[in-house]
Amino acid sequence: MQIDMRGLTPYSATYQAMQEFTSARTAQTADALWMCEHPPTFTQGLAGLDAHLLTPGDIPVVATNRGGQVTYHGPGQVVAYPLIDLKRTGYYVKEYVHRIEEAVIRSLLHFGVTGHRVSGAPGIYVRLDDPGSHAVLPQRPHKDASLSPDFTGLGKIAALGIKVSRHCTYHGVALNVAMDLSPFDRINPCGYQGLRTVDLSTIGVSVSWHEAADVLSQKLITYLAP
């Protein structure tokens, strides 16, 4: 997989480029990983409800074909776009999502933070009172997924939304590093009213965008390998 550190790039142009890359690729096309940072942008998933866009104001809203609801991208956030042919990997979409989440968890661990999964809510979360705690969450994924997600005591630090076309992936995962988090107050993040959003800076970890992007890209390369 080829890593392309694209840095700060407009969201809409990146979205279009992902679609073009995916539609043009063949069985011989090498997989790629684009590491990006975007200017302030709200993005809506396919099932996105306008009711979750509270007061977008001067921040543009882009409708996309990924899964999930509304989220925010902005400076200080590492956005990773794996462009992978799943036919070559030997695993399916559910495991693909799990592997992306695992790469984020391992990246956070590199910085002394424990990331957690929450039942029924894709993405990665941290304990607000003790971000380094390894204690098992009562909200961890379990067989009964009928219950509503419980975010008590948690903040969301990474959001995930993907698209698979002809077995090929695009869109990806966003890890909050050192952002202005106030735009998240203008939406119901990922469709959840009152869900707290955090970044590494908020929980006391000082790290540059480039360092976080380097760590996350290497973990993604490792955990998305066939």
Token pair in block for residue 38: 């975007």
Q: How far apart are CA 220 and CA 105, in angstroms?
A: 11
Point out the residues of the chain with pLDDT beneath 50.
none
Q: Classify residue 116 by burial, with Cβ atoms within 10 Å: 0-12, 13-18, 19+.
A: buried
pLDDT given at position 145: 60
Q: How far apart are CA 166 and CA 153, in angstroms?
A: 39
Give the homologous superfamily in CATH for domain 2-223: Bira Bifunctional Protein; Domain 2 (3.30.930.10)
Alpha helix locations (H) across the chain?
Answer: 11-24, 86-89, 93-110, 209-223
Q: Say which DSSP state 85 is in.
A: B
pLDDT given at position 84: 98
Catalytic annotation, pick one of 100, 190, 203, 213: 190
HSE at residue 39, side-chain half, CA atoms within 13 A, is: 11
Domains of the chain: which residue ranges? 2-223
Report the SS3 class of residue 65: coil
Residue holding tokens 């869900």? 195
CB atoms within 10 A of CB 185: 12
Q: How far apart are CA 218 and CA 10, in angstroms?
A: 24
* Catalytic-residue membership of 190: yes
pLDDT given at position 139: 87
Residue 179 to residues 70, 184, 220: CA-CA distances in angstroms?
17, 10, 22
- Identify the bridge partners of residue 162 per DSSP, sorted by sequence position: 171
pLDDT given at position 144: 65
Q: How far apart are CA 75 and CA 39, in angstroms?
A: 6
Taking the CA atoms of residue 69, residue 107, residue 176 and residue 196 in that order, the dihedral angle to the nearest 10 degrees is 70
CB atoms within 10 A of CB 98: 15
* Nearest CA-CA partner of 41 in 151, 168, 187, 172: 187
Q: How far apart are CA 121 and CA 188, in angstroms?
A: 14
